[in-house]
Amino acid sequence: MTAPETRHSLILRLRDGRNQQAWAEFLEIYQPLILRLVRCRGLQDADAREVTQDVLLAVVAAIPNWDADPAKGSFRGWLSTITRNLVVNFLVRQSRHPRGSGDSDFARWLSEVPAADCNESKFFDIEQRRQFFQWAAARVRSEVSDNTWQAFQRTSIDRRDIAEVARDLGTTAGAIYVARSRVMKRLRECIEQLQREDC
């Protein structure tokens, strides 16, 4: 398996709209992140998916003009702004043409959409780290044996006792430590590659 490219190089490859591999990688990394961000604004699942598609279409249209100059802002900030603006646009459209959601206080809901501030940026960062971990975990899991992954997941994620997991997997505590260390090292490598350039 080849290592994932950094976000900066991925974004540059996205400028070629015909680069299906770049777009597939972008969707794999960012679509779940955008969907979670949109859902956190209180939209129903179908509406959240619609807004997520709108965000992705906006990225497709605007990526050729996106400037990687750090003085003009990061890609993360740019994507967060697009997402926030399209959520607000959706809510405004809904307030003009309500669909009978049963919510008679739609203006209150609209006013609860947070402004662009450090809290929203922190939220985006947390969601992005979560998505990077999930993306890296899927890759690393495919690279290691099932026992190695189970040793990592049960002890590091599920927080089960190492001796208990060793018994369950028919191995030693030392082997569990080695397997866990190997998986954590690969996860760090994958995530660091994604974060190498904060564009």
Reply yes or no on whether the pLDDT at 101 is more than 60: no
Same domain, 104 and 197: no
Distance CA 49, CA 53 (A): 6
Same domain, 65 and 116: yes
Same domain, 118 and 150: no
Reply yes or no on whether the pLDDT at 150 is more than 80: yes
% residues pLDDT > 70 (the chain):
77
Tens of pLDDT along 110-142? 344 444 444 666 677 777 777 788 888 888 999
Kindly state the tokens that stand for 70: 């750090």
Output the DSSP codes for 95-149: HHS----S-S-HHHHHHTSPPSSHHHHHHHHHHHHHHHHHHHHHHHHHHS-HHHH
pLDDT-derived band at 97 (thresholds 50, 70, 90) equals: low
Q: Given 92, 123, 154, which residue is the final one in a domain?
A: 123
Quick one: pLDDT at residue 187? Answer: 86
Evaluate if pTM is beyond 0.75: no
What mean pLDDT is predicted for residues 168-193?
A: 88
What is the extent of the structural domain holding 151?
A: 144-199
Residue 180 lies in a domain: yes
